């Protein structure tokens, strides 16, 4: 019994004509026989969830470095919130929910320890530069390699969605475009929640016109943004917010950059984070033989600079791992 074929038939019958059907995927970097149970995008989703890089997200910073409170977001909980919002949009807009979920779960796999602070530091240290978007693709294409396969060998559509989930880039598929909106809606709203919990801002500090139009609570604001995207784009081969909701969403985002992301109290540990990453980067540049052998083994048949190899190693670390490693290498231990 070929369940995959039945699932592909169901997609073709149910989804709108401009949805990306799994049967029409442009394929993988290396050919593989198709699964008899799962569609191509379901298979990608499963590979991502079972990857080591996905598991490490639970100990990587979202906004606040090394928060002690149990309820602050991590990069993993952010990823799950993005996936949930994206699936809601895809289901309502009759687009491919499996493709959306796979992109959402992988979109931040390349994030560094200490969040965007770590990304900025590695971008300065590596002559070739560094972005978490490019690194996320590098993770799924190369760094998650094992003896049977180079990388996760994901489909073109998932890889393309990862590459174009942020910044000025626009995905070729509506499913990929959904991730950009879901990512922004998630981080704006959950970062407000975390910033209020941390005492950086209060609910009363939020722009009054944004609150009046988008909603007076975390859930109401998310519902307004998601509902607007569905109502504005249902049955259409496009994805955009209505002018008013888009304007208020962007204004709320600008407020967060000014009052939270660049806030001195919220970023009080950034100097320490920069010191830790810089010292470790220079240490391995001068002592490349101290890099783990299993990490170095990845590059036997590929031509990469030492700085790229070090960036890959450091970017893959969790917050607590890099702190423990720094202590082990540079902090004297007491005699017992």
Per-residue pLDDT reduced to its tens digit, 184-201: 999 999 999 999 998 999
pLDDT for the residue numbered 207: 97
Residue 31's Cα: distance from chain center in Å?
26
What the block records as the tokens of 319 is 């917050």
Can you give the length of the chain in residues?
Answer: 336
Residues facing 61 on adjacent strands? 74
Check residue 64 and give its pLDDT.
67
Task: State the pLDDT at residue 158.
Answer: 98
What is the chain's Cα-based Rg?
A: 21
CA dihedral over 56, 72, 186, 88, signed as positive or negative: positive
Q: Which three-class secondary structure state does DSSP give residue 94?
A: coil
pLDDT, position 69: 61
Residue 1 has what pLDDT? Answer: 62
Residue 328's pLDDT is what? 95
Q: Domains plus CATH for the chain?
A: 3-65+72-110+134-261 (1.10.3210.10)
- Look up the pTM and report it: 0.95
Nearest alpha-carbon partner for 130 in 143, 145, 111 = 111
Give the residues of the chain that fall short of pLDDT 70: 1, 64-69, 264-268, 336
Helical H segments across 93-200, by residue range = 97-106, 115-125, 132-138, 156-163, 174-197
């Amino acid at each position: 019994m070929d369940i995959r074929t039945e699932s592909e038939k169901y997609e073709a019958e149910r989804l709108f004509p401009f949805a990306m059907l799994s049967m029409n995927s442009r394929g993988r970097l290396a050919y593989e026989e198709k699964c008899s149970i799962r569609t191509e995008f379901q298979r990608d989703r499963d590979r991502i969830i079972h990857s080591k890089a996905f598991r490490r997200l639970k100990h990587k910073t979202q906004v606040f470095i090394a928060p002690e409170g149990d309820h602050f977001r991590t990069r993993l909980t952010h990823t799950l919130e993005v996936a949930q919002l994206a699936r809601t949009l895809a289901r309502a807009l009759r687009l491919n929910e499996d493709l959306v979920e796979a992109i959402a779960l992988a979109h931040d796999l390349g994030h560094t320890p200490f969040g965007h602070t770590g990304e900025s530091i590695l971008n300065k240290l590596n002559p070739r530069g560094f972005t978490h978007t490019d690194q996320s693709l590098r993770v799924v294409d190369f760094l998650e390699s094992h003896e049977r396969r180079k990388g996760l060998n994901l489909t073109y559509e998932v890889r393309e969605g990862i590459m174009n989930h942020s910044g000025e880039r626009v995905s070729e598929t509506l499913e990929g475009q959904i991730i950009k909106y879901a990512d922004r809606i998630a981080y704006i709203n959950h970062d407000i929640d975390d910033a209020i919990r941390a005492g950086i801002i209060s609910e009363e500090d939020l722009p009054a016109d944004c609150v009046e139009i988008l909603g007076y609570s975390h859930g109401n604001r998310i519902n307004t943004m998601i509902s607007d995207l569905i109502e504005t784009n249902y049955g259409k081969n496009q994805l955009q917010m209505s002018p008013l909701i888009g304007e208020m969403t962007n204004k709320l985002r600008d407020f967060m950059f000014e009052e939270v992301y660049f806030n001195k109290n919220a970023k009080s540990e950034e100097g320490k984070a920069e010191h830790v990453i810089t010292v470790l980067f220079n240490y391995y540049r001068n002592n490349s033989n101290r890099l783990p052998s299993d990490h170095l083994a990845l590059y036997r048949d590929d031509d990469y600079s030492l700085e790229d190899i070090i960036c890959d190693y450091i970017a893959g670390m969790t917050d607590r791992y890099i702190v423990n490693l720094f202590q082990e290498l540079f902090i004297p231990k007491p005699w017992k």
